[in-house]
Structure 1
Amino acid sequence: MHFIDLLLISIPYLVAYGCTTTAEGSTLFNLTLIHNNDIHAHFAPVNVWSSPCDEKSLREGKCFGGVARIMAQAQSIREKQPNNTLFLNAGDSFQGTVWYSLYKWRIVSHFTKLLKYDVMTVGNHEFDDGVDGYAPFLEATRHTIPTVCCNIDVSAEPKLVGKIKKSIVVEVDGRKIGIVGYLTPETTFLSNPGNTIKFMDEIQCLREEVRKLKSDGIDIIIGLGHSGFVRDVEIAKSVPEIDVIVGGHSHTLLYDGPKP
């Protein structure tokens, strides 16, 4: 059994958790998780209405997000915690602004590599331009940033074979940590994945993959998903071996303290 204390630090498009985990008979292990999700190609700062930031909003301190801010915050956290930090992305970096409309996967790949995520999962909007719009992105990033998703079967799609892992094991400060990904099966009709990709039930696939990780001696497991908050809660209840869930898709504000 693990005991986890979470300290939440949030800025637009980025959240950091400081996790203290321990299993019975083991020593205390500190882990910091930086994560974001559903950027939707908002690489430049925006105002409170999600419109491009103008000079007036900038002067008033009402500009939020943007790759520069995310990079600065992530770098600051990593410098303070150089040995025990992971930076995760929970999907849907594609689609949403003129950046994507003009430059498609290329611009997403450019900024994704600048942000230097440790692991990503798949968002439904990654398939908006079909397999041909997503496969080049995976090819461009897979050697430095692995993508994980356990409930997607791409065996019948040659352009994606070998580019998405069910899970990955990373070593942080001498400790092996399993990260398993998942994506809403509703992607079939929410986006344009075509008929060569099969989406399966998240819980069933997560149980199977977590069982494999446990059998390999991995005792800290992170779920990195894009199924929405309600489904994440169901997964947390149904797969208790997952210690932390980092989720996306529903754009749910998880506030700290009184409801804003």
Structure 2
Amino acid sequence: MELNIIYLNDVHGYLEPHNELFYNNRDEFTESVGGYSRISTLIKGIRQKDSTSLLFDGGDTFHGTLPLVSSKGEAIIPVLNELYFNAMVGHWDFAYGPEQLKNLLSKLNFPMLGINVYNEDGSLFLQPFITIQKENLKIGVIGICSNIIDKTTPSEFSEGLKITDGIDELPGYIKQLKNDQVDIIILLSHNGFPQDMHLLKKVAGIDICLSAHTHNRLYEPVLVNKSIVIQCGCHGSFLGHLKLKIEDKLITGHQYELLKVGSHISPDAEMEKIIHTILQPFESVKNNLIGSTEVTLHRYNTMNSSMDNLLLNAVKYVSGTEISFSNGWRYGVPIEKGNITEEDLFNIIPMNPPVSTVDLTGQEIIDMLEENLERTFSSDPMKQMGGYVKRCSGLRINLRIENPVGHRIQEIYFGEKQLNPKEIFKVSFVTSQGVPKNIGKNRKVMDIKAVEAMTEFLKAHPKFDVNDDNLFALV
């Protein structure tokens, strides 16, 4: 028999086609891709050809755009139920708190899985696995949610919860499924590609790993021992299609295609209606022109981000500071050179937090950045806890990523001089992921929020062009 696995991860709330960043041998360029109506067409086409198809969502689904954040994730429920996934896992899906996540899950026609998310009393918050029968084949699906939910995200994400990396728990669930005569075991994981590679080297018994979180575009499966690993980019720009050849209940071959959800795919009419209904209240935001950009803005680079350059210059502008920080978020589709709308600004930072200020010593800044660099580049994959490198404006940091913990920064400049560890700097930031709550003094929350800050900045600088004052540089 042939078993078809269809996989989607890290859509981050992008319901419609959008700009996506692509590369050739010389340049970056954008192309309009994605959208659940096109995704629906692809999924229906695969299902019509073969009834032995399974569909999975790798998480980061309920959050990422204004319609989802303003509805605390509920806007996308009709879309997900129309597609009918077999299971999902989560990360930013916890953004509205555990109780709201429970509410969202109660409205889905499929479960979220997680062997590693615990209530305070030690019980599991989520269902750990499911089993699926396809002809004479019994399939087990185990879920691992992101292990950083209670470590690097705002505390309300995980109130009353404890999250592990799932490595210690996984062998027991594999054994349980094997004892239940399961033939094929699929791991649905939001820990990230490096973390999943590490896990699969330590834990035997996983046949397929559906990886997420790190937004890798894997054009070919990666084999780890006997496990087949796939991951499918982000924002719904790609759909993974893995065909497994099954003989005597064993995988004897596989074919894989990373399908670009491009304009050549006709939209599904029923899904188009659902999405139109969801987005209709937000038409004014989509059409509200705020300013323009002289270059394409994106945050797809590990070290620096043209998109966050706009955000952080705006944060400095409204706060009157010379240094600003934000988290190294991965999500947020590119803004092509040209007009910037209010919708674009919300896509940059959909939760629209207030701008804050705090007094930091030079040493606190250095320590904060060193901690972030370790979380980004740790030689131990399970200690990699971030998106990309923390974004900053007003500093220049020369670093060596191969150096040991606490010694990656070689030089850090503020203006023309190296940063004085003893000097106190008033800095601005957005969210506790920008500057953690446990450092600094005189922390103040301003009355202005991030989107309003960018709006004011663009009124004063209507043709934005990226400057180079936020460079992390390898030396």
Normalising TM by the smaller chain, what interval?
Answer: 0.7 to 0.9
Confirm or deny that 1:185 pairs with 2:153: no
Confirm or deny that 1:152 pairs with 2:117: yes
Confirm or deny that 1:69 pairs with 2:69: no
Confirm or deny that 1:132 pairs with 2:99: yes
CA displacement 1:225-257 (0-9 Å, x = unmatched): 100000111122122200000011111111249
Confirm or deny that 1:247 pairs with 2:247: no
Tell me how far 1:99 sits from its aligned partner.
1.7
- Structure 2: stretches of 5+ with no match in the other structure: 23-29, 222-475
Q: 1:1-260 alignment to 2 at 5 Å?
A: 29-48=1-20, 62-82=31-51, 84-121=52-89, 123-141=90-108, 144-154=109-119, 156=121, 164-191=126-153, 192-256=156-220
CA displacement 1:115-157 (0-9 Å, x = unmatched): 2111112x2101111123312111111xx20221111113649
Tell me how far 1:209 sits from its aligned partner.
0.8
Aligned length: 212
CA contact (8 A) 1:94 1:100 kept: yes
CA displacement 1:48-84 (0-9 Å, x = unmatched): 259xxxxxxxxxx9421111011110000000011x1
SS in 2 for 1:117: coil
Tell me how far 1:185 sits from its aligned partner.
1.9
Tell me how far 1:214 sits from its aligned partner.
0.8
Aligned partners of 1:216, 1:155: CA distance in 2, in Å? 29
The corresponding residue for 2:251 is none
| Normalised TM-score (structure 1) | 0.75
CA contact (8 A) 1:124 1:190 kept: no
Aligned partners of 1:97, 1:138: CA distance in 2, in Å? 19
Distance 1:42 1:198, change over 3 A: same
Distance 1:206 1:74, change over 3 A: same
Amino acid at match of 2:17: P
Aligned partners of 2:124, 2:190: CA distance in 1, in Å? 20
Aligned partners of 1:66, 1:163: CA distance in 2, in Å? 31
Amino acid at match of 2:202: S
Aligned partners of 2:82, 2:36: CA distance in 1, in Å? 9
Aligned partners of 2:217, 2:124: CA distance in 1, in Å? 34
- Structure 1: stretches of 5+ with no match in the other structure: 1-28, 51-60
CA contact (8 A) 1:147 1:163 kept: no
Amino acid at match of 1:194: S
Q: Rg larger in 1 or in 2?
A: 2
CA contact (8 A) 1:184 1:202 kept: no
CA contact (8 A) 2:144 2:191 kept: yes
| Normalised TM-score (structure 2) | 0.42
Aligned partners of 1:256, 1:134: CA distance in 2, in Å? 33
Aligned partners of 2:185, 2:164: CA distance in 1, in Å? 20
Tell me how far 1:216 sits from its aligned partner.
1.2
SS in 2 for 1:47: strand
CA contact (8 A) 1:67 1:115 kept: no
Amino acid at match of 2:75: I
Which protein has the bigger strand share?
2
Amino acid at match of 2:39: I
Tell me how far 1:168 sits from its aligned partner.
0.7
SS in 1 for 2:72: helix
Aligned partners of 2:41, 2:151: CA distance in 1, in Å? 37
Q: Which runs of 4+ in 1 moved over 4 A?
A: none
SS in 1 for 2:186: strand
Tell me how far 1:103 sits from its aligned partner.
2.0
Aligned partners of 1:156, 1:196: CA distance in 2, in Å? 9
SS in 1 for 2:63: coil
Tell me how far 1:45 sits from its aligned partner.
0.8
Aligned partners of 1:115, 1:226: CA distance in 2, in Å? 20
Distance 1:69 1:128, change over 3 A: same
Distance 1:39 1:62, change over 3 A: same
Q: Name the Cα RMSD after superposition.
A: 2.3
Distance 1:86 1:48, change over 3 A: same
